[in-house]
Chain A
Amino acid sequence: MKVARYLFILFNFWIFSSSANSIDLPPESEPSALGIAIAKETDRRNLGFTSTKSHMEMVLTNQNGDVSSRRLRMNTLENKNSDDGDWNLIVFDEPRDIKGAALLTYAHILDPDDQWFFLPALKRVKRISSTNKSGPFMGSEFAFEDFSSQEVGKYSYRWLRDEPCGDRTCHVVERRPLYKHSGYTRMVAWTEKTDYQLIKVDFYDRKDELLKTLTLTEYRLYLEKYWRAHDLYMVNHVSNKTTRLTWTNYDFQAGLNEKDFSQNSLKRTR
Chain B
Amino acid sequence: MKIFAVLVVLVLCMGDAYCKDFQIEGELEIELRNFLHNSPYGSARNNYASISSLIEFGIYDDNDKHALIIKAFARGDSGDSRRSHGDLREAKYRYVNGDFELTLGVDKVFWGVAEFAHLVDIINQTDFVESVDGEEKLGQTMVRTSYVSPIGTFTGFFMPEFKPRNFSGSDGRPNGNFLVDTSREFYQSSDGRNHDDFAFRYNSSFDVWDLGLSYFNGTSREPLLIKKNLIANLIVPFYPQREQFSIDLQATLDSWLLKLEALKQIERTESVGRFVAGFEYTYYGVFSSLSDLGVVVEYMWDERKLEAPNLFNDDLGFGLRWTANDVNSTTLLAGAIYDLETSSVALSFEAERRLSNQLKFSLEARFQVNVDQQDLILYPLRNEDFLRLQATYYF
Contacts and interface: CB of A to CB of B under 8 A. Distances in A.
Interface of A: 1-5, 60, 62, 68-69, 94-99, 112, 114, 116, 122-129, 131-132, 134-136, 139, 181, 183, 259, 262-264, 268, 270
Contacts of A3: 329
Given A2-B352, A116-B205, A127-B205, 14 more contacts: A2-B323, A95-B329, A97-B392, A99-B25, A114-B252, A123-B108, A128-B252, A131-B282, A134-B285, A139-B328, A263-B205, A264-B153, A268-B64, A270-B60
Given A127-B205, A268-B64, A270-B23, A132 B109 contact: no
Contact of B250 (A60, A127, A264): A127
Contact of A129 (B94, B255, B392): B255
Nearest to B21: A270
Interface stretch (B12-20, B95-103, B269-277, B298-306): B95-103
Given A96-B358, A263-B205, A268-B94, A139 B284 contact: no
Given A127-B250, A259-B98, A135 B325 contact: yes
A134 B292 CA distance: 11
A136 B357 contact: no
A1 B250 contact: no
Contacts of A69: 357
Interface of B: 23, 25, 27, 58, 60, 64, 67, 94, 96, 98-99, 101, 108-110, 113, 135, 146, 148, 153, 203, 205, 210, 250, 252, 254-257, 282, 284-285, 290, 292, 321, 323, 325-329, 331, 352, 354, 356-358, 360, 392, 394
Contacts of B205: 114, 116, 127, 263
> For chain A, what secondary structure do more than half of its interface residues adopt (helix, strand, loop), or is it mixed?
loop
Given A114-B205, A259-B99, A264 B146 contact: yes
A183 B352 CA distance: 27
A127 B153 contact: no
B110 A124 contact: yes
Contact of B284 (A1, A116, A134, A263): A134
Nearest to B203: A263
B257 A129 contact: yes
Given A96-B358, A132-B284, A264-B101, A270 B325 contact: no
A112 B254 contact: yes
17 contacts: A5-B325, A68-B357, A97-B360, A97-B392, A114-B252, A123-B109, A124-B110, A129-B282, A134-B284, A134-B285, A135-B284, A136-B325, A259-B148, A262-B148, A263-B203, A264-B148, A270-B64
A111 to B, nearest CB: 10
Contacts of A99: 25, 394
A68 to B, nearest CB: 5
Nearest to A71: B357
A194 B47 CA distance: 70
Nearest to B259: A127
Contacts of B358: 95-96
Nearest to A258: B148
A95 B331 CA distance: 15
Contacts of B148: 259, 262, 264
A239 B326 CA distance: 13
A139 B109 CA distance: 30
Contacts of A139: 325-329
A2 B331 contact: yes
Nearest to B327: A139
A73 to B, nearest CB: 13
Contacts of B153: 262-264
The interface centre, meaning the residue of B23, B64, B392 with most chain A CB atoms within 10 A of its CB, is B64
Nearest to A124: B110
Among B27, B284, B360, B394, find the residue whose CB has the most chain A CB atoms closer than 10 A.
Answer: B284
B235 to A, nearest CB: 29
Nearest to A130: B252
A254 B76 CA distance: 45
Contacts of B252: 114, 127-129
A127 B210 contact: yes
A159 to B, nearest CB: 32
Of A96, A112, A116, A124, which is in contact with the most chain B CB atoms at under 10 Å from its CB? A96
A59 B290 CA distance: 19
